[in-house]
Chain A
């Protein structure tokens, strides 16, 4: 005799029932946890921005953010101004750090759209930092960074992160030994914007020369490194006109 569970009608009903139960379970969990997740992402952005300008709890070798309990206070203490650059128009916006870079990049493919470029201006120990959020492609998925510069576009600090680079290889762009190489590195050469190349086999592996527009690459992560190079070049270039206005004022 055919078992009850082998009938087509039973199979169909089971499938429908299962989809309904699983679907509502997932939808419920996702919407119940959404506020917490959004809050965590917001805090992370603030931590990243502060990290780039040197406000962090770094110990000897590892990158450590300021604690989640103090980040909101620290953010309002150090970040003096948040601006949005849209063509020649510069507006102040206290929520500029929430602008979705990915959406802006997609929208900018339409030539008639004037992309919003957020820039965070921070002050620490009398020094002014201009922190730009940028985004690009790694080997597997998105990579992004917060780059803190001074008015001459010399990098003062950087925080890199990625969605799915290979652990132990490309994922190491968020390690101190890679990020710290950028500190002091010049983005301009002879007054023109050049970017910074993540270079293999350069003559300067310990990165003593800060004006060569090069940092040492990570072995085995060529494509991630090239992604970092491309991201820095194309994205930070968009900020060059703003930095020119700083000089003329």
Chain B
């Protein structure tokens, strides 16, 4: 990353690995459980959060010196809600099909604790450029986990990826189904998202023991 100084680059790379908002800070779990039954939904959600967090962090950062501390949480909520509603309206007007896919997640974006967390922890104390990088980094870190979980849940639960039957046809018994393989419907339910997420956390911590908390 020649464009960014080492410190700035860390703002993007850290949340992707050792400071991941989902697996290390355990934020944004609710939406990670709710929407990862399909890969497509995971990707759409990841892009939506990227957009909202990137811009929201900049807006909050620009306002950081004028926001009264007593009502800062409400101000943050209003900024997220406004951004999300504007995005939703623009999509409805110019990309109607996409907006229908996204409609379920609009509420979830507003309540996503990663967004509030980054506003509160970073944007309120840093300049707009840094806040922007932090927003992008954290939403990418969130998106990566979402996509990993979504990938496994859709593959093992429905035998498809992005709707394509990659494992063959379960009714006509082609592909791996010819050998007696069955889809695991349990993968589509929320508890399995938690278990898949747990496995991701396990792998991550076994590779880097510095991440294991003392008890």
Could you tell me which A residues sit within 8 Å of B by CB distance?
5-6, 10-11, 14-15, 18, 22, 25-26, 29-30, 33, 36-37, 40, 43-44, 61-62, 163-164, 166-169, 171, 206, 219-220
Contacts and interface: CB of A to CB of B under 8 A. Distances in A.
Contacts of B89: 29-30, 33, 37
A114 B17 CA distance: 63
Contacts of A14: 66-68, 71, 75
A167 B68 contact: no
A102 B81 CA distance: 27
A5 B85 contact: no
B163 interface: yes
Contacts of A37: 89, 92-93
A29 B86 contact: yes
Given A167-B38, A171-B104, 6 more contacts: A14-B75, A26-B82, A37-B92, A163-B103, A164-B104, A168-B158
B90 interface: yes
B50 interface: no
B189 interface: yes
A10 B66 CA distance: 10
B165 interface: yes
Given A26-B85, A220-B185, A15 B71 contact: yes
A11 B128 CA distance: 23
B47 interface: no
In this complex, the interface size class of chain B, counting residues with CB under 8 Å from chain A, is 35 or more
Given A5-B68, A168-B158, A18 B93 contact: no
Contact of B188 (A5, A10, A220): A220
Contact of B94 (A5, A36, A171, A206): A36
A168 B92 contact: no
A238 B89 CA distance: 36
Contacts, number: 77
Contact of A166 (B37, B154, B158): B37
Interface string B88-100: 0110111010000
Contacts of B158: 168
B13 to A, nearest CB: 30
Nearest to A15: B71
Given A6-B69, A26-B86, A40-B92, A167 B75 contact: no
Contacts of A29: 85-86, 89-90
Nearest to B45: A167
A62 B163 contact: yes
Which 9 pairs, one residue from A and one from B, show the smallest C-beta to C-beta distance? A168-B37, A36-B93, A11-B68, A33-B93, A40-B96, A167-B41, A37-B92, A5-B68, A168-B38
Contacts of B195: none
Contacts of B67: 5, 14
B82 A5 contact: no
Given A168-B154, A220-B189, A5 B69 contact: yes
Most buried by A among B68, B71, B189: B68
